Amino acid sequence: MGGSKWVTLWKVNADGTRTKVGRITRKQQQKILEAQKRTQQLAGMTGMRRQPEAPVIKVKSFRDKINEAQTDGELITTLNEKYSFVAPGVVTRNDRDMVKRATRTLDELEEQYPFMKGVISGLEFAVTPGSPAAMHAKFSSKEGLISQNFKFGEGWDIADNQEFYTGSERGHHPPNQTPESTVAHEFGHAIHNYILGKKLNEAYQRSHIEAIMLIEDIKHGKALAYLEKRAVESLGYKQPAAVRGKISGYAKNAKSYRSNPTSESFAEAFADVYVNGDYASDVSKAYVKTLLDEARSFQ
């Protein structure tokens, strides 16, 4: 009347035929079906149901924050997030766009040359009095010599952009002077002082006398002579004076400005290569290669 209490279990073969594999009672079959149903219900409430995606939180980079700063206060806050020293008036006494361009450049240079990350701890900008198109850029650093109150500044006048350089001699600065090139010039100084800081630390470890002698060379502007000699000889020359004018007029005549011609030649060369790339002077390229090879040797 109620049918068989047994249910036959079959296996379907690859060719479509069936093979008997056993049997269970109808009561067992009912329990299996109920268990399958409960499993499907639970799956529908958890894993089978599409879960809402977690929100993606984008962390803004330093340059993003610089770009988005709309007020002096926002810009100052962003600079203080990265630098332990930001001189009073860096933003408030300068054109905000100029400060943005300069600090973006500095951040880009630190990213391009990782060995300099964390070396520059502070910055200062100041418009040169009587020349609104000029800028001073100064960086303080935690590394070696620069921490001993060494400060660097170099101004440029926008009129230099109107000059076209021909022959072996160049204008006062390499072509295409901008806030970016001014920062690059100062960054070149920071790199060679990073090198001197490393050399001074090594000298102290060997001998205090050797360290004192190096300090004296630094005071008299002779500490980078070995590096400039290496750059000059790589070009087939013997004397730096023969090639400095091919970097810039300022590199050639730095003594006239009471500046060290060796350090200014490296800084001017670095700015030239950063701004002008393949179009930079071959002498500038040789100076920068020598500078970077030496800096990287301390890593």
pLDDT tens, 62-73?
A: 999 999 999 989
* Strand arrangement, sheet containing 85-86: 85-86, 120-126, 136-141
Residues 160, 278, single domain; the answer is: yes
Task: Extract long-range pairs of 255-260: CB within 8 Å, 24+ residues apart.
Answer: 260/221, 260/224
Cβ proximity of 174 and 272 under 8 Å: yes
Residues 160, 241 share a domain? yes
What is the predicted pLDDT for the residue at 133?
41
The pLDDT assigned to 57 comes to 66
- Structural domain tally of the chain? 2
> 103 and 35 in one domain?
no
Q: In the block, which residue shows the tokens 């590394």?
A: 143
Supply the pLDDT for residue 31.
75
pLDDT of residue 168: 32
pLDDT for 283 beyond 70: yes
Q: How confident is the model at residue 149 (pLDDT cuts 50, 70, 90)?
A: very low
Question: How far apart (Å, rounded) are the C-alpha atoms in residues 32 and 275?
Answer: 76
User: Are 227 and 95 in the same domain?
Assistant: yes
* b/e map 152-183, b = 16+ CB within 10 Å: bbbbbeeebeeeebeeeebbbbbbebbbbbbb
Question: Residue 207 is part of which domain span?
Answer: 84-296
* Same domain for 125 and 39: no
Which CA distances in Å does 237 have to 71, 229, 231, 247, 294? 51, 9, 9, 14, 20
Q: Is 283 helix (H, G, I), strand (E, B) or coil?
A: helix
Global pTM exceeds 0.85: no
Q: Which two tokens stand for residue 181?
A: 């090139």
74 is a domain residue: no
With a cut of 70, say whether residue 43 has pLDDT above it.
no
Q: Are residues 99 and 13 in the same domain?
A: no
Residue 4 has pLDDT above 50, yes or no: yes
Residues 218 and 112 in one domain: yes
